[in-house]
Structure 1
Amino acid sequence: MSQVQTLHSLLEPTVEGLGYELVGVELVGSKGNRTLRVFIDTPAGVRVEDCEAVSHQVSGLLDIEDPVPGAYHLEVSSPGLDRPIFKASDYERFRGEQVRLRLVELYEGRRRVTGTLQGLEGEAVVVLDTEGTERRIPLELIDRARLELEP
């Protein structure tokens, strides 16, 4: 299990216990300059007060469990309009939306794919790219995925 998966598993019960969905977790930066980003959501949206409440609870849990060695900065926020996609189920949830994928390696001659999300078929994300080609991208090749704001 990766460190991000471990953090997600550790934080999810606390975040959900407060009445929020844990959208995802990112750990970015290098040693000494790391940021732990925790994305939360609710059907009514997320306010600053919500982020403060979750930050307070998550910070206490992280201090006790100490899952991230060294110093880091904690950020709690809504996923925003260009929402990151973390879960396989989100590829179905956001079917029909514009999406931007960054791949871990070249696949079919591409490292980036942008287009309309068609959903999930087995272990592949289906995207109708901007050129009108339907592409099936294996989940394990997706490094980062975000909803894209339409122009």
Structure 2
Amino acid sequence: MSKKIVSLTEELVQPIADEMNLELVEVEFVKEGNNHFLRVYVDKEGGIDIEECGKVSERLSEKLDEIDPIEQAYFLEVSSPGVERRLKKRSDFERFIGSHIYVKTYEPIDGEKEFYGDLIQFENDQIILNIKVKTRTKEVLIPFEKIAKANIAVTF
């Protein structure tokens, strides 16, 4: 049911995002405690502001009310993906070359499943990370299909 709601929401919000020159980053439908949340993350070059999120929310809410696809009560949230934005699509990895990222894999690569490093390349369906190991750096190749989770990593 959750995948169906996410898919339908993506279909409804994509034209709104396109019209407003926004990128639809992600849609999720989750249960937290007793509450359900339909979360829509949108972005644009230079970041998105609260007014734009409000406009997307209003327009999407109208469309959802028309077809009423969600049986249970839920909260609709439209927001920016934030500074630690998730990387899911191939285009995300291409766009954020040069960024410091966190990657968790489904299975170990060189004995590890978690990596922090600089994304230096995305080619042939694999990413290349430049990671620090003690006092030196090394490159790690990670096939796209082995990535369980990835996001921008904020460094201080």
TM score, norm. by length of structure 2: 0.79
Unaligned runs of 5+ in 2: none
Q: How big is the shift at 1:117?
A: 0.6
The answer to whether structure 1 residue 148 and structure 2 residue 150 are counterparts is no
Kindly tell me: are residues 61 and 95 of structure 1, through their superposed partners in 2, closer, same or farther at Cα, counting changes over 3 Å? same
Aligned to 1:102: 104
Deviates more, 1:114-123 or 1:18-27: 18-27
Aligned to 1:37: 39
Give deviations 1:11-43, integer Å, cap 9, x for gaps: 211221233221222333369533222111223
Partner SS for 2:10: helix
Unaligned runs of 5+ in 1: none
Larger Rg: 2
Kindly tell me: are residues 65 and 116 of structure 1, through their superposed partners in 2, closer, same or farther at Cα, counting changes over 3 Å? farther
The CA distance in 1 between the partners of 2:113 and 2:153, in whole Å, is 17
The CA distance in 2 between the partners of 1:122 and 1:5, in whole Å, is 28
Q: How big is the shift at 1:98?
A: 0.2
The CA distance in 2 between the partners of 1:31 and 1:62, in whole Å, is 23
Kindly tell me: are residues 95 and 44 of structure 1, through their superposed partners in 2, closer, same or farther at Cα, counting changes over 3 Å? closer
Kindly tell me: are residues 116 and 133 of structure 1, through their superposed partners in 2, closer, same or farther at Cα, counting changes over 3 Å? same
Identity value in percent: 34
Aligned to 2:89: 87
Between Structure 1 and Structure 2, how many residues are aligned? 149
Aligned to 1:134: 139
TM score, norm. by length of structure 1: 0.81
Aligned to 1:28: 30
Partner SS for 1:85: coil
The CA distance in 1 between the partners of 2:7 and 2:142, in whole Å, is 21
Kindly tell me: are residues 50 and 137 of structure 1, through their superposed partners in 2, closer, same or farther at Cα, counting changes over 3 Å? same
RMSD between superposed Cα atoms in Å: 2.4
Aligned to 1:71: 73
Q: Which amino acid aligns with 2:132?
A: T
